[in-house]
Amino acid sequence: MLARIARAAVVVLVLAAAVASPSIAEEGRDLRVTRAVTGSGVEDRVVVGESDTFPEGTEVVFWTMVEGGASGDSIDHVWIREGEEVVTVGLAVGSARWRTWSRKTLYPGAAGAWSVEARDREGNVLATVSFTCTAGSEASAE
């Protein structure tokens, strides 16, 4: 009878320890964005056309280098225009060093001050990049 109680106590202690402690995958995690930029595209997983000004009608890429993560982690890219959240894009993190990006087309009427934030699961801002969208008539021809 005492052996049975002792075994039950051990099972309870093991279960309590498993619930109270983070998983091995979470211990020591330091998810961070070490580089964040806006550009006009991505080639070979690298942003191209880096800029802080884009005309209406173009597609903007927000590119981030995420470090300290693991498979199963994720970040959000939150696109903000004139202080208002426009869209949130959830992106998977696949390893300890991971490049990821999201895209937003700046349709007519999108002129103004924009920013994009990279946020972790808890909503902490890991990086912010600001850019300006110019009205179609203000865009210079290249």
Segment 36-83, tens digit of pLDDT: 999 999 999 999 999 999 999 999 999 999 999 998 999 999 999 999
pLDDT value of residue 99:
96
Residue 32: its pLDDT value, please? Answer: 95
99-118 tens-digit pLDDT: 999 999 999 999 999 999 99
pLDDT tens digits, one per residue of 117-141: 999 999 999 999 999 999 975 544 4
Q: What angle do CA 71, 73, 77 make, to 5 degrees?
A: 130
Looking at the whole model, is its pTM more than 0.85? no
Contacts of 11 (CB under 8 A, 6+ apart): none
Q: What CA–CA distance (Å, rounded) separates 37 from 47?
A: 8
* Coil vs helix vs strand at 59: strand
CA distance 90 to 79: 11
Q: What is the token pair recorded at 96?
A: 């300890």
